[in-house]
Amino acid sequence: MTMSANIRHRQRAGDVIRNLKVESFGGQQVLVTGGAGFVGVHLGRALHLLGSKVTLFDKAKPLEDYDPDIKVVQGDIRDRELLEKLCEGVDCVFHIASYGMSGREMMKASDFIESINVGGTENIVEACIKQNVPRLVYTSTHNVVFAGQDIENGDESLPLLPLSAHKDDYSRTKSMAEQLAMKSNGRETKDGSILNVCVIRPVAIYGAGEQRHFPRIVKNMEQGLLCMKIGGSHIKVPWVHVDNLVNGHILAAEGLSNHKEHIAAGQVYFIADKAPVNQFEFLRPLITGLGYRYPSLIVPVWFMYIVALLSEWLHTILKPVINFQPLMVRTELFQVAVTHHFSIEKAKKQLGYEPVERDLTDMVQYFLERGHRKKSSSIGAFLFTVILAVLFVVLLMSLLPLAE
């Protein structure tokens, strides 16, 4: 019998975790918010392997199986009273919970997104203060400094973008929440001790079982929509495998501990794989592994920007009738079609972070095991190409000067 992608991945992740040189988790109580999500479940599993007593907190049930010794609590991040109960006796909180990262979630009402991303973070901070939690790791996003501008090997000295510069409420509210978390570092807790806080800024995440980006990518393949590349091969973007992101979180929390002299307190860290890649070259093993043809058609970024704008506009207009998944929104386009990547030197030097080599092999197997492979020829790609070509010609004609 072939070993499943998830089991194989867990074994490799376990080997990596056991080799981490950390001392502050054995027997300690830890709380992971957003614990039902892809990163949360993997982090909880790793902390359990390190000997921690783990509680996963989320509104939903975990996406994957977890050890029965791991406690799971369902609830709302906006419920401060519940969070205060969960933080009692906890040594470290990993605050991962958020909303609005991708797709139709990004089009949700801004006050709703803010209530979770900002209000939820405030609740976590205040619960930590009341219950004397010494360590808090906040999971932010690289979007707090990126909104479509070229960034090459950017580091943590990059200033946060003005809130008005963000094209989506997720990035805007994550920036607000990051600032709130950073300001809470060094605050005195109820018993007079100190809350030590640091921030992790992940880039785009991958790994077998990822549920935000890759199911949409595979669905686009199946519908014949992934028949083109956006921009040139020179465009480089960052990715991080979930194993590396989990390691980054654990090492950051270790850096907040007494025996590390709180080196991470008040610090921000970009966490990514070793090197940036071209988005479509990165996806090539998945595309071909599922039996699809690697796209050769290249469309310009400016054209897809207009498509993204139209997609957002249509979603806004039609949302009361049908809450469809937008083809692409502008923030997602920037992630694919604008060079941006970040240095991980600070995390390496201060935390001892060393990303392990990973690829899409397990992801290919994961989707194959679930029946996602090319089954037959589809006219979807042809029709989509024709529609794009017509739009492209119409837009070009509209830009030409009128004959006098």
Q: Is residue 174 within 8 Å of 146, Cβ to Cβ?
A: no
Buried b (16+ CB within 10 A) or exposed e, 301-319: beebbebbeebbeebeeee
Residues with Cβ within 8 Å of 325's Cβ and at least 6 positions away in sequence, in order, are 103, 104, 216
What would the two tokens of residue 330 be?
A: 């502008």
Beta strands in 134-245 (DSSP E): 135-139, 151-154, 196-202, 204-206, 228-230, 239-241
- Tell me which range, 189-203, 216-230, 356-370, is most confidently predicted by mean pLDDT: 189-203
Average predicted confidence (pLDDT) for the chain: 89
Alpha carbon dihedral 212, 213, 219, 224, in 10-degree steps, equals 160
| Structure confidence at residue 403 (pLDDT) | 44
From residue 217, how far is each of 187, 213, 290 by CA, in Å? 43, 6, 12
**Is residue 245 scored above 80 in pLDDT?**
yes
**Is residue 249 scored above 80 in pLDDT?**
yes
Looking at per-residue confidence, does 37 or 17 come out higher?
A: 37
What would the two tokens of residue 121 be?
A: 């973070």
Q: Is residue 256 within 8 Å of 137, Cβ to Cβ?
A: yes
**Is residue 50 scored above 80 in pLDDT?**
yes
Q: Which superfamily, per CATH, for 5-399?
A: NAD(P)-binding Rossmann-like Domain (3.40.50.720)
Tell me the pLDDT band of 393, cut-offs 50, 70 and 90: low
Distance, CA of 387 to CA of 383 (rounded, Å): 6
Percentage of residues in the chain with pLDDT exceeding 70? 89
| Structure confidence at residue 329 (pLDDT) | 82
Please say whether the dihedral angle defined by the alpha carbons of residues 147, 307, 236 and 272, taken in this order, is positive or negative.
positive
Distance, CA of 142 to CA of 271 (rounded, Å): 9
| Structure confidence at residue 404 (pLDDT) | 45
Distance, CA of 351 to CA of 344 (rounded, Å): 10
According to DSSP, residue 338 is labeled S
Distance, CA of 280 to CA of 278 (rounded, Å): 6
Q: Which strand (E) or helix (H) includes residue 40?
A: helix 38-49
User: Tens of pLDDT along 126-184?
Assistant: 999 999 999 999 999 999 999 999 999 999 999 999 999 998 999 999 999 999 999 99
Backbone angles phi, psi at 403, to 5 degrees: -70, 140
Mean pLDDT value of segment 256-273: 97
User: Tens of pLDDT along 308-367?
Assistant: 888 888 877 877 777 777 777 888 889 889 999 999 999 999 999 999 999 999 999 999
Looking at per-residue confidence, does 327 or 221 come out higher?
A: 221
Q: Is residue 16 within 8 Å of 243, Cβ to Cβ?
A: yes
**Is residue 15 scored above 90 in pLDDT?**
no
**Is residue 1 scored above 50 in pLDDT?**
no
| Structure confidence at residue 395 (pLDDT) | 52
**Per-domain residue ranges of the chain:** 5-399
**Is residue 384 scored above 70 in pLDDT?**
no
User: Tens of pLDDT along 74-90?
Assistant: 999 999 999 999 999 99
Tell me the pLDDT band of 102, cut-offs 50, 70 and 90: confident
Tell me the pLDDT band of 23, cut-offs 50, 70 and 90: confident
| Structure confidence at residue 225 (pLDDT) | 79
**Long-range Cβ contact pairs of 107-112 (< 8 A, separation 24 or more):** 107/312, 107/315, 107/316, 107/319, 107/326, 107/329, 108/169, 110/169, 110/173
User: Tens of pLDDT along 267-320?
Assistant: 999 999 999 999 999 999 999 999 999 988 888 888 888 888 888 888 778 777
Residue type, position 125, single letter:
V
Looking at per-residue confidence, does 350 or 10 come out higher?
A: 350
Residue type, position 55, single letter:
T
In this structure, the number of other CB atoms found within 10 A of the CB of residue 293 comes to 12
pTM above 0.85, yes or no: yes
- The catalytic site residues sit at 170
**Long-range Cβ contact pairs of 221-224 (< 8 A, separation 24 or more):** 221/287, 221/290, 221/292, 221/374, 222/372, 222/374, 222/378, 223/378, 223/380, 224/378, 224/379, 224/380, 224/381, 224/382, 224/383, 224/384
